[in-house]
C-alpha cells in the first residue's frame, strides 16, 4: 500500500540519488536508455498478453502501438542524446564586453512524476520515461489502475531494469495519485483528460512545479472531408483509426464533417471499409479491441442509444466482452451534444455541411476549445495549408490520420484544453531539462559604462557608446 509516508520516503530517496550527480553524465544516461530498451524487448510477450487482457488488443496492434513505438522513441534518444545535451555557445555581444563567451547548459529538473493513462499504458509511460532519462532526471511513474494487467507488467519491467531510488512505479487509484501530487516534485508530466489536467495544475501550483500536459481536448478532434476529397481514401483511413484501440485514443477522429454534396457516397465508402477491415461481426472478431471498463461500455452504449434513429452502421454491443461495434451516426448537427465533448469510444458522428460554407464550419470549430488534432481531406492543398496555418490545434494531417505523431524529430503536444508542452525525440529532452545560461566574465579590461556615476563629464560618452553597443 502506497501510504503518504512511503511515498515521501521514495521521493526523498530519489532526491538523494539525483543529488549524487550520477544522472548528469551523458554516458550513464545512454546506458540507462539501453537498459530500458532491453527491458521492453525482454518483456514483449508479457506486454502483448497484458494488452490483450485489458484492452482486447491483437498482438500486431499491441506491437505497433506500445512496443515498437517505445523502441523507436528510445532509439531516437540513443542516437541524438549527445548532440541534444551538448552545451551551446553564444557570443555575449558588445554590451557584455570584455566577457565574450556565454554557455547554455541543458540541466535536468531533478525528480520527475509521470502520470500515465490506460489507453496506451506502455507507450505513454515508457516513451515519457525515455525523455526523462535522456534529460538526466529520476522518475516516479504513476500508472493507471484501470489497465491493471498492464500496470503489473510495467511494475516488473521497471523493477527488473532500475533501482527504485532511480526509477519507480507506483500503482493504485486516484487517492494514490493525489498523495503524489501533494509532494514537491521538480517536474510533472501528465497524460489524460482536461478535467484532471486542471486538478494536476492546481496541485503543482502550490509548489510552483513545472507541468507538461498531454490532454485529449474537451471538444474532440475534427476531420473535415471536402467535396473534392478522395472519398474512398478518406473513409479507409478514418475507419482504420476509429477501429484502433476501439476509439480510445487522444488524437482520434472524434467527429467527421463531410460536404453535404458527397455525404452519401462517403457513408457508403465508410460502410464498405468497416466490412473490409473488421468484417460483418466485429463483436466476435478477435482482432477488434474492447473498451477499458464496463462503465466505459455503458457510457458508449447510452450515448449511442440517444441517437438510435440515426445510426447507419453498428449500434450493437456485448457488455460482457466490453466490445461495442464501430457505430456511424448520421446526420448530426454541429451544435448537438455528441460533438461537444471527447467521445473516447468507437462512435463516429458525421456532420454534413454545404461545401461552400466551409468558412462557417471552421469558425464554429475555432470558437470551441482547442483540439489535439485536426485532419483535412481535400485535393486543394493551398486551402489545406491556409487552414493548417491559421487554426489553433495540437497537430494534424492532410489526407492522412495520426501519422504526424510518428515523425522523428517533430514535436507532439496540445494547446489550451488539449495540453501544454511538447515531446518526442529532442522535444522530450527539452521538456525535461532547463536551459541554464552562464556568462563567463573577465577580470581585465572591464568597461565602466554600466557603473555609477550616471551624470557628470562622462555621461554623454557613456550614453553614446551604449547606444552603439545595443544596436
Mean pLDDT along residues 237-256: 97
Please, are residues 238 and 206 in contact by the beta-carbon 8 Å criterion?
no
Q: Which of 127, 116, 112, 71 has its CA nearest to residue 214?
A: 116
Residue 99: pLDDT band by 50, 70, 90 thresholds? confident
State what percent of residues in the chain have pLDDT above 70: 99
Q: What is the pLDDT of residues 79-95, one digit of tens each?
A: 999 999 999 999 988 77
335 is catalytic: no
Please, are residues 231 and 256 in contact by the beta-carbon 8 Å criterion?
no
Average pLDDT, the chain: 95
State what percent of residues in the chain have pLDDT above 90: 90
Burial class of residue 121, CB neighbours in 10 A (0-12, 13-18, 19+): buried
Catalytic residue among 65, 96, 150, 250: 250
Q: What is the pLDDT of residue 261?
A: 98
pTM of structure:
0.95
**pLDDT tops 90 at residue 449:** no
Mean pLDDT along residues 148-161: 98
- What are the structural domains of the chain? 4-216+421-434 (3.40.605.10), 221-368+371-410 (3.40.309.10)
Q: What is the pLDDT of residues 388-399, one digit of tens each?
A: 999 999 999 999
Mean pLDDT along residues 407-423: 94
Tell me the C-alpha distance between 297 and 120, whole Å: 18
**pLDDT tops 90 at residue 343:** yes
214 is catalytic: yes
Catalytic residue among 48, 61, 214, 426: 214
Q: What is the pLDDT of residue 453?
A: 83
| 3-state SS, residue 56 | coil
Q: What is the pLDDT of residue 145?
A: 96
Q: What is the pLDDT of residue 471?
A: 65
Amino acid at each position: 500500500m502506497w501510504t503518504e509516508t512511503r511515498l515521501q520516503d521514495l521521493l526523498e530517496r530519489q532526491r538523494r540519488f539525483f543529488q549524487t550527480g550520477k544522472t548528469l553524465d551523458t554516458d550513464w544516461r545512454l546506458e540507462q536508455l539501453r537498459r530500458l530498451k532491453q527491458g521492453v524487448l525482454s518483456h514483449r510477450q508479457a506486454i502483448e498478453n497484458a494488452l490483450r487482457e485489458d484492452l482486447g488488443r491483437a498482438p500486431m496492434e499491441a506491437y505497433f502501438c506500445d512496443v515498437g513505438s517505445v523502441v523507436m522513441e528510445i532509439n531516437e534518444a540513443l542516437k541524438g542524446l549527445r548532440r541534444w545535451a551538448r552545451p551551446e555557445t553564444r557570443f555575449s555581444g558588445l554590451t557584455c564586453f570584455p566577457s565574450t563567451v556565454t554557455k547554455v547548459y541543458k540541466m535536468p529538473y531533478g525528480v520527475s512524476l509521470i502520470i500515465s493513462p490506460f489507453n496506451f499504458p506502455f507507450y505513454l509511460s515508457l516513451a515519457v520515461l525515455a525523455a526523462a532519462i535522456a534529460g538526466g532526471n529520476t522518475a516516479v511513474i504513476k500508472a493507471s489502475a484501470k489497465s491493471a494487467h498492464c500496470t503489473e507488467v510495467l511494475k516488473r519491467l521497471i523493477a527488473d531494469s532500475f533501482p527504485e531510488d532511480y526509477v519507480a512505479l507506483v500503482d493504485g487509484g486516484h487517492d494514490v495519485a493525489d498523495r503524489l501530487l501533494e509532494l514537491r516534485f521538480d517536474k510533472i508530466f501528465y497524460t489524460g483528460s482536461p478535467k484532471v489536467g486542471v486538478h494536476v495544475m492546481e496541485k503543482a501550483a502550490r509548489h510552483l512545479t513545472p507541468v507538461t500536459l498531454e490532454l485529449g481536448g474537451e471538444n474532440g478532434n475534427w476531420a473535415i472531408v471536402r467535396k473534392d476529397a478522395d472519398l474512398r481514401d478518406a473513409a479507409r483511413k478514418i475507419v482504420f483509426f476509429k477501429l484502433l484501440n476501439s476509439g480510445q485514443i487522444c488524437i482520434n477522429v472524434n467527429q467527421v464533417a463531410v460536404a453535404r454534396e458527397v455525404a452519401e457516397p462517403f457513408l457508403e465508402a465508410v460502410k464498405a471499409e468497416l466490412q473490409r477491415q473488421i468484417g460483418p461481426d466485429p463483436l466476435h472478431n478477435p482482432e477488434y479491441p474492447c473498451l477499458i471498463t464496463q462503465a466505459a461500455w455503458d457510457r458508449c452504449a447510452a450515448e449511442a442509444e440517444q441517437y438510435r434513429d440515426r445510426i447507419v452502421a453498428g449500434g450493437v454491443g456485448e457488455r460482457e466482452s466490453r466490445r461495442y461495434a464501430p457505430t456511424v451516426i448520421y446526420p448530426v448537427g454541429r451544435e448537438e451534444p455528441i460533438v461537444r465533448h471527447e467521445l473516447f469510444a468507437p462512435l463516429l458522428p458525421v456532420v454534413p455541411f454545404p461545401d461552400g460554407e466551409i468558412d462557417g464550419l471552421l469558425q464554429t470549430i475555432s470558437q470551441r476549445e482547442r483540439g489535439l488534432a485536426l485532419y483535412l481531406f481535400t485535393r486543394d492543398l493551398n486551402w489545406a495549408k491556409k487552414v493548417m496555418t491559421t487554426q489553433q490545434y495540437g497537430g494534424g494531417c492532410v489526407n492522412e490520420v495520426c501519422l504526424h505523431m510518428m515523425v522523428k524529430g517533430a514535436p507532439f503536444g496540445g494547446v489550451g484544453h488539449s495540453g501544454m508542452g511538447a515531446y518526442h525525440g529532442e522535444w522530450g529532452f527539452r521538456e525535461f531539462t532547463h536551459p541554464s545560461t552562464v556568462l563567463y566574465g573577465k577580470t581585465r579590461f572591464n568597461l565602466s559604462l554600466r557603473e555609477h556615476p550616471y551624470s557628470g563629464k562622462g555621461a554623454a560618452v557613456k550614453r553614446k557608446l551604449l547606444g552603439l553597443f545595443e544596436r
